[in-house]
Amino acid sequence: MNISIFGSGYVGLVTAACFAEAGNEVICVDIDETRIQKLTEGHCPFYEPGVDDLLTRNVEAGRLRFTTDARAAIDHGLFIMIAVGTPPDEDGSADLRHVLTVARTVGEHMSEYKVVITKSTVPVGSAEHVRKAVNETLSARGENIEFDVVSNPEFLKEGSAVEDFMKPDRTIVGVDNPRTGELMRALYAPFNRSRDRVIVMDIASSELTKYAANAMLATKISFMNELSNLADRVGADIEAVRKGIGSDPRIGYKFIYPGAGYGGSCFPKDVSALSKTGEQVGYSMELVDAVNAVNRRQKQVLFNKIQAHFGDLNGKTIAIWGLAFKPNTDDVREAPARDLMEALWEAGAVVRVHDPEAMDTIRACYGEPENLTYCNSPAEATQGADALAILTEWKLYHSPNFEKLAQTLTDKVIFDGRNLFDPALVTRFGLEYQSIGRPIAKPG
């Protein structure tokens, strides 16, 4: 298959690398010449396990190329995938400007039949906007060239995106032409050898499925965080509650871990965009709005615990382990660690931070202020700190030396936003332990 992908961000690049690995001829297009040059040299602009190897192997094999030449890419691909960003607009709706720019570019340069695929996360009705943009551009050229529009949302989890693509649990395809559905089945056939995971449906349902999936997962997280706050107040242990309800197969254990709130590039903006979609058709998405509200509040819970413990935070030093919104990524978009850092600074505290992968992305956000110290190891971050806060559940943080922590932390207290430890174990070393939805554990 000849595939052209517009956008070399997270979704576009992972998609391009995985399709090339399956033997397809893939061209990835971006307007950023510096980015294209680095990609051609095999340098991935973000951290995602497995992507570097795929890039190197397929660029060397000639199956994967990068360019700024949109015309050449459109000439190349039967399948034209749109994988550009859809950032939230000021009102929370998805901004489709970049998507529609690509659609018009396709209309400007196509000379034969194309399958135009929206891979970006877009609200219901976006495929029709893409179709209209291509048609209007073709009409302005005086051309009448056949094409089809397909909705093919991605379901890649940061930290396991390559595995998700190579062995998908489902591939959603929205079409309005049965022929196009068969073409898409053929495109994804290499990733469906054991059983057919392609689910073909109408375009509107496909577009809604992506938002519905992310909103459901976000709802589970916010529900558990809501329960954790109640547990705090009634003296219950949310971890015991989690095990109790997770044992019910109708609920299960996935996405019911309480914590410091969800972040990343998907859940926050997609939940907001789904709410906005409802508003645009005159329907109030009350549950979805509550999910958003609970998450915003949850991102302040750890700071509130720290402030309640110390009272005055002015001049205090807090060590933070974990900056990325989740493990196995360097993505700090909407990360709870950022909310905590900013709240601590506002209260007059200084922070010392460590993360295995996200140091550079945090540095790009905040630079080198006096109240922020970047540390090369977890132990270095705790040097001179009054307390430790944990925001990301990297494996590196799961088995610390509690004895050394008790000697290092001036106030001998850990604030755990991910409930990594057994409270009884932590207190055995003379440390106070405050976590999410569990009683405060004190030594002795």
Provide the annotated active-site residues: 266
Q: Is the dihedral of CA 312, 292, 279, 207 positive or negative?
A: positive
Q: Residue 264: left if φ>0, alpha if ψ -120 to 50, beta else—which one?
A: left
Which H/E stretch holds residue 349?
Answer: none
| Residue 335 one-letter amino acid | A
Residue 181's CB: how many other CB atoms inside 10 A?
18
Q: How would you write 421-442 as a 3-class SS string?
A: CCHHHHHCCCCEEECCCCCCEC
Task: Give the span between the Cα atoms of 416 and 430, in whole angstroms.
Answer: 16
Distances 304 to 115, 285, 299, 428 between C-alpha atoms, Å: 52, 29, 10, 25
- Residue partners of 265: CB distance under 8 A and separation at least 6: 10, 158, 331, 333, 334
Q: Is the dihedral of CA 230, 233, 239, 241 positive or negative?
A: negative
Q: Where are the alpha helices (DSSP H) in 10-50?
A: 10-21, 33-40
Q: What backbone phi and psi angles, to 5 degrees, belong to 390?
A: -115, 125
| Residue 257: Cβ within 10 Å count | 19
Start-end of H helices in 281-335: 286-298, 301-310
- The answer for residues whose C-beta is within 8 angstroms of residue 165's C-beta and 6 or more apart is 14, 15, 18, 156, 191
Residue whose token pair is 């001049």: 315
